[in-house]
A and B are shown apart, each in its own frame.
Chain A
Amino acid sequence: MKFPKPISINFSILFFLFFGFSTPLFGKFQAQPPQTTPICPFDHRLVPDGLKIRAVKVSGRRGNNSIEEKLTVRFRGQAYARELLYQAQNEVEGALSEEVNQTFEKQMRIIGGAAPAVIFTKPCVEIDNTAKTIDFIINVFFLGVNLKELAKNILPVPRSVKPSFYNKMSPVLRTFNPQFNLSFDRKTGVEGSFDISTNLLQLSDLWQAKELSDSKYRLEVNFSGRKSFSERFFQTNSDLTFSKIQPDKLVEKLDFGLSFIANDQPLNEMRHFDIGLEGGGKIKLRPRLGALNTLYFEGKYSNSTHKVFDKSGQNILANKENKFKFRSVIDGILWQGFSRFGFWAESAKISNSSDNYQRLAAIFAYQKEFGKGTQTFGLEAVVGGGKTWGKVPQYSLFFGGNNSTNFLYESPDSLTMAEFPVGPLLRSYGKTKANTPTYSGANSYWHTNLNLTIPIRFWSKRLIPDETITYSDGSTKKLNEVLETFTINSAIGGIGGDLLDSIVQDLMKKNPNLTEDEAERQAVPLVQKQAEKIVNKEIAPTIKFISRQANLFAVKPLIMLDAAKIYDNFQPNGFYRFGAGGGFKLITVTAGAEFGYLWSLPRKINEPKGNFVFRMTFQNLF
């Protein structure tokens, strides 16, 4: 049995990355000096006279230090007055609503249009009885919708309702939007990946935190890199893309770009090195129709060099090839869950040879949370297949293993999604370790994979605090219900208000005796239906998910099942492979992780009995 090589990672860095970015989660457990009295919710009757204001604290995620300092400087030393607390509350809301902050919110998190963001603030105070001072604490809940990527709205991904003051945060984070991943696999060992992207047309404004222009054009530079810490394997993709963005249109985004790629990846017991240039275009369509919510189509031409090395490191194959590549990704909402369909096709011609080959692959994946409230069972199902034609070089044959990293959760633009699938997903094998018994590589395959997560009430905390608001008639409502109803209805009200004018004018043309008020009242039911339809397509499912099911953190036991069949030219009936195992899924504010072990069932002779899988994604750093 082969064990992975020793890993030299500074685990304190990992600990910081995982928990350090999640300070809002742990902030409340910090020890409080005994001489202080918190009053939360705020009750002015409990505040004694003669206090001086010491500080203003804001419960934001990123960049709140700056607004805290500004308000503290302004209010420190002043005699406490209730109205000053409300002024501080108003200032915090104002800073979040500032146009400069809104443009970052719009362009970096929600490209595609204005989100129905709602800001809910709750004041609290903390009194230092010894020093006779009072701190103002402004608790903020911020509900926004990611209109750029549907998946980010309705999948159980790291999220927060604490707002970010983008214009006050680190320029590096704001400008380059970095993303980190860590994963472990028997074949590749521990791998770290790093993605950055920025808009060169607004680089200076991003860096200086100036208001971003509402330009339709972007010149994006993106870099994605992945490197094994213990093996020589790596993957890089650098691209420069010119984009046109048209929010609210069917054709939402058009891209033209050039990419440079260089990879050194395992190929069963061999190694595949490739380097090349690619150029092409991509179109993003937003019909917003159920399972056809967002469609990506990409066509590319590539020129690349490929080398295959055997176990001893000897170069056994060297090719240059020209390739036409096509891929599409379709994201949608199906049976109130998230669905994604990916399709890849390519046709390649080997240089200085008459050899050519074609490949097709497709993956369909579905995610849904079952159950009520935040204690839900999560189901993830993946079905995929691929086939080759022609004289296929070894590096383009299929090999099963722990291959595709995270089809459901990746951005459609990511490195992983752009790659042609290597073979069936069989997580009980290391990357590309599952071969046919003839060791020739597969010409076709299919696979199906299932993940089931089980909720444990005490291992999770809901995203929106479990608070209740009592109204004047004695009735009570949960905070999450209030935020959900308020946000959805206000979105309908706002959109309906925009649509109302034209219908009122039509009604008044048809019946000149109608006053404007009468026409408005007649138009409202018509407009209400139209606005509801628009809001229910995208905004309402997102807000409902955040309000009802999203967790601030959750640890869930995970059951993993894999089945696949691979076919080669020698055994057309193919070979089955099965895997089963368990582990845990973890979600916090900024990181998601999956880890577990899968056994091969039954274990094949000369094959490992199983594989430890580990994947951690740091995202949502804003």
Chain B
Amino acid sequence: MPTNVAVANLNEVCTEFRIKVMIYSPESGYKFDVTVQRKCFPTKWIVIFNLYKKIGTEFVQLVGVEFETETKEQQKSAEKMSQEGVNILQSQAFRKKVYPAVKVLEDGDPPTESETKKIHTEMSKAVLLNV
């Protein structure tokens, strides 16, 4: 098993932040938002998809998806998203592909392996749409 050794470099410059895009309403009674988060030391790029449903008079968060970028391509793309925003194709993908994949979890049951895989795949595709 390979051994990974991380050495802290205190001269490294990295500021942690989160930047949240405007809220989308894919259909009546539902909304979602997309956030790009940077964690530091080591740098990690995370794309967060939060789904809300209107219950009574309030929107309640049903599902929160944290997609941690793994490949260099994904990291580069998430980093680019944090600088340049969500483009048309990504906006469409979050609405048309990620949202339906996440919405199936609104019943509150834990996601099955295939549901998790589907969400991961759609999130990955959406993130990569700005490369």
- Pair B41/A97 contact, Cβ less than 8 Å: no
Flag whether A337 is at the interface (Cβ < 8 A). no
Known: A472-B75, A485-B83, A500-B92. A43 touches B40 (CB 8 A): yes
- Taking a contact as CB atoms under 8 Å apart, the answer to whether B23 and A470 are in contact is no
A459 CB within 8 Å of chain B: no
Question: Could you tell me which residues of chain A, from 465 to 512, have a CB within 8 Å of some CB in chain B?
Answer: 467, 469-472, 477, 482, 485-494, 496-497, 500
Flag whether A74 is at the interface (Cβ < 8 A): no
Interface presence of B124 (CB below 8 A): no
Chain B residues with CB under 8 Å of A467's CB are 15
Name A43's contact: one of B41, B43, B82, B89 (CB within 8 Å).
Answer: B41
B15–A489 touching, CB < 8 Å = no
Whether B20 contacts A118 by the Cβ 8 Å rule is: yes
Max chain B C-beta neighbours (<10 A), residue from A98, A99, A488, A497: A497
* Complex Cα spacing A599 to B17, Å: 53
Decide if A62 is an interface residue (CB 8 Å cutoff): no
A117 to B22 alpha-carbon distance, docked (Å): 6
* A527 surroundings in chain B (CB, below 8 A): 88
Number of residues on chain B facing chain A (CB within 8 A)? 43
Q: Which residues of A contact B21 (CB under 8 A)?
A: 118, 486, 490, 494
Chain B residues 39-83 with CB under 8 Å of chain A are: 39-41, 43, 50, 54, 57-59, 61, 75-76, 79, 82-83
CB distance from A141 to the nearest CB of B (A): 9
A42 at interface (Cβ–Cβ under 8 A)?
yes
Smallest CB–CB gap between B23 and chain A, Å? Answer: 6
Check if A497 sits within 8 Å of B95, measured CB to CB: yes
Asked whether A100 lies within 8 Å of B58 as measured between CB atoms, the reply is yes
Question: Does residue A345 face the partner (Cβ distance < 8 Å to B)?
Answer: no
Does any Cβ of B come within 8 Å of A278's Cβ?
no
Q: Which of A97, A114, A486, A488 contacts B83 (CB 8 A)?
A: A486
CB-CB under 8 A from B57, the residues of chain A are 210-211
A93→B88 contact, CB < 8 A = no
Contacting pair A485 B24 (CB below 8 A) = no
- A89 and B14 alpha carbons, distance in the complex (Å): 18
Tell me the bound Cα distance from A14 to B17 in angstroms. 38
Let me know if B18 and A486 touch, CB within 8 A. Answer: no
A93 to B37 CA separation, bound complex (whole angstroms): 12
Minimum Cβ distance to chain A for residue B28 (Å): 12
A215 to chain B minimum Cβ distance, whole angstroms, is 14
Whether A572 sits at the interface, judged by CB under 8 Å, is no
The residue from A93, A100, A470, A496 contacting B14, defined by CB atoms under 8 A apart: A470
Q: Which of B22, B35, B43, B95 has the most CB of A within 10 A?
A: B22
Chain A residues with CB under 8 A of B91: 493-494, 496-497
Asked if residues B83 and A102 are in contact (CB atoms below 8 Å), the reply is no
Residue count of chain A within 8 Å CB distance of chain B: 52
State whether A471 touches B79 (Cβ < 8 A).
yes
A63 partner residues in chain B, CB cutoff 8 A: none
- A520 near B86 (CB under 8 angstroms)? no
- From A97, A485, A528, contact of B85 by CB (8 A): A485
A interface SS class: helix
A489 touches B16 (CB 8 A): no
Complex contact A496–B41 (CB within 8 A): no
Report A-chain residues with C-beta under 8 Å of the C-beta of B54. 99
Q: Does B131 make an interface contact (CB < 8 A)? A: no
B58 touches A99 (CB 8 A): yes
Is A44 an interface residue when CB atoms closer than 8 A count as contact? yes
Q: A94-B61, A496-B91 are in contact. Are A489 and B85 (CB under 8 A)?
A: yes
| Residue of A121, A469, A492, A497 touching B18 (CB-CB under 8 A) | A121
A116 in the interface, Cβ–Cβ < 8 Å?
yes
Cβ of B43: which chain A residues have Cβ within 8 Å of it?
472
Does B1 touch A at the CB level, under 8 Å?
A: no
**Complex contact A493–B15 (CB within 8 A):** no
Looking at the complex, which one of A89, A98, A494, A496 makes contact with B24 (CB distance below 8 Å)?
A494
With both beta carbons as reference points, the residue of chain B lying nearest to A96 in the complex is identified as B20
In the complex the two chains form, is A497's CB within 8 Å of B88's CB?
yes
B5 touches A (CB below 8 Å): no
Q: Which 5 A-B pairs have the closest CB atoms?
A: A497-B91, A489-B85, A496-B88, A490-B85, A41-B15
Interface residues of B (CB under 8 A from A): 8, 10, 13-24, 31, 33, 35, 37, 39-41, 43, 50, 54, 57-59, 61, 75-76, 79, 82-92, 95
Query: What would 8 more interface pairs be, CB under 8 Å, given A485-B83, A486-B84, A500-B88?
Result: A44-B40, A114-B22, A471-B83, A485-B84, A489-B85, A490-B21, A491-B85, A528-B88
